[in-house]
Amino acid sequence: MDLFNKIKGGLYGVAVGDALGGTTEFMTAREIKHQYGYLTEIIGGGVWQLAPGEVTDDTMMTLCVAEGILDNPAAPVESIGRHFLNWHQSKPKDIGNTILHAFHNYEGNWFEAAFLTDLDLGQSGGNGSLMRCLPVALAYRKLTDIERVSRQQSKMTHYDETCNEACIIYNRIAYRLLQGEELKHAIQKEITGTKYEDMLTNAPNCEPSGYVVHTFRWVLHLLLHSSSFSGVVQEAANLGGDSDTIGAIAGGLAGIACGYPEIPSNYSSVLLVKDRLDEISERLYRIRNYFPNGFHWY
């Protein structure tokens, strides 16, 4: 699989997981079974009354991170923040609580906004910085750049170190996939010795909730135990809870691993943001090759 189709597969994977799981967000697995049997198609609806193919905050914020990096790859925090605020002004249907607080607290310094948000809420351990972080691994070649910018984009809204840790593990797995490593091998390498190591042998004993540790445990479990891209995003959608975000995060890595051509066209062709995904995939591919030596001197 060539690099361009891995990058495009990653972005589309996020969007497909989001659009499919958006239908079942906040439902229980039992309610989903009662209403849909086993959901396999992108049909919209759900709590957000989505149009078929409409994506939610997971994909939109992923695109903000991508565009912010493309605007200023050497120091992307301010440009990512501008895209966040532009998106917020578009009055999105759904926006996570931690991120909403950080937007309200922002007065020119994102890291201060995140710190104040953590104080306001008493925690900031949601999955909102993990769900949007994949473009960092798609844009930068060097692991030092990937780790630095993964951390920066997380700390813009989520002060909690647990979020930063999950973003770095996630993007280190993505880095390995982009080098051509096999998915399960890459996961095993990166979670061994971390708090997620037991996902190699155990099933999650937590709800599929928006707490980043719970979310990431389910993501890793689905990736380790599903045999196809469709299996990963469908299982996420049928979990309920924070199904769109779990689907988006898992779908991103599954999409890199299989590559864009392997994502079923009944998923990729119905996405309403398809043109933006195509354009940003190409720009990420170009910038990655334009700065082959990375930004490690910063």
Span near Mg ion by CB under 5 A; candidates 27-35, 67-75, 240-248, 257-265: 240-248
Choose, by CB under 5 A, the member of 54, 57, 67, 160 that binds Mg ion.
Answer: 57
Give whichever of 46 and 81 is closer to Mg ion, judged by the CB atom.
46
Q: Using an 8 Å Cβ cutoff, are 285 and 3 in contact?
A: yes
Measured from the CB atom, the residue of 60 and 186 that comes closer to Mg ion is 60
| C-alpha to C-alpha distance for 91 and 148, rounded to whole angstroms | 30
Least separation in angstroms between residue 251's CB and Mg ion is: 12
CB of 30 to Mg ion, least distance (A): 21
Calculated CA dihedral for residues 165, 168, 172, 174, nearest 10 degrees: 110
Interface with Mg ion, residue 56, by CB under 5 A: yes
Closest distance of CB 58 from Mg ion, Å: 5
**Minimum distance, C-beta of residue 181 to Mg ion, in the bound complex (Å):** 29
The DSSP 8-state label assigned to residue 227 in this structure reads S
Q: Does 244 bind Mg ion (CB under 5 A)?
A: yes
Cα separation, 134 vs 11, whole angstroms = 8
Pinpoint the alpha helices (H) of the chain: 3-21, 29-36, 57-71, 77-89, 97-105, 110-121, 134-139, 143-155, 161-178, 183-191, 212-225, 229-239, 243-258, 265-268, 274-290
Tokens 């960092």, residue located: 136
| 117: contact with Mg ion by CB under 5 A | no
Among the residues of 24-160, which ranges form H helices?
A: 29-36, 57-71, 77-89, 97-105, 110-121, 134-139, 143-155
Nearer to Mg ion among residue 57 and residue 67 (C-beta): 57
The reply to whether 242 sits near Mg ion by the rule CB under 5 A is no
Least distance to Mg ion, CB of residue 57, Å? 5
Q: How far apart are CA 89 and CA 234, in angstroms?
A: 32
Question: Identity (one letter) of the amino acid at 277?
Answer: L
The residue among 191 and 271 lying less far from Mg ion, judged by its C-beta, is 271
Nearest-approach distance from CB 83 to Mg ion, in angstroms: 17
Residue 221 half-sphere exposure toward CB, CA atoms < 13 A: 20
Span interacting with Mg ion, options 26-34, 60-68, 238-246, 290-298, rule CB under 5 A: 238-246
Question: How many residues sit close enough to Mg ion to count as binding (CB under 5 A)?
Answer: 4
- Which of 54, 58, 147, 165 binds Mg ion (CB under 5 A)? It is 58
| Nearest distance in Å: CB 247, Mg ion | 9
Query: Under the rule (CB under 5 A), what is the footprint of Mg ion?
Result: 56-58, 244
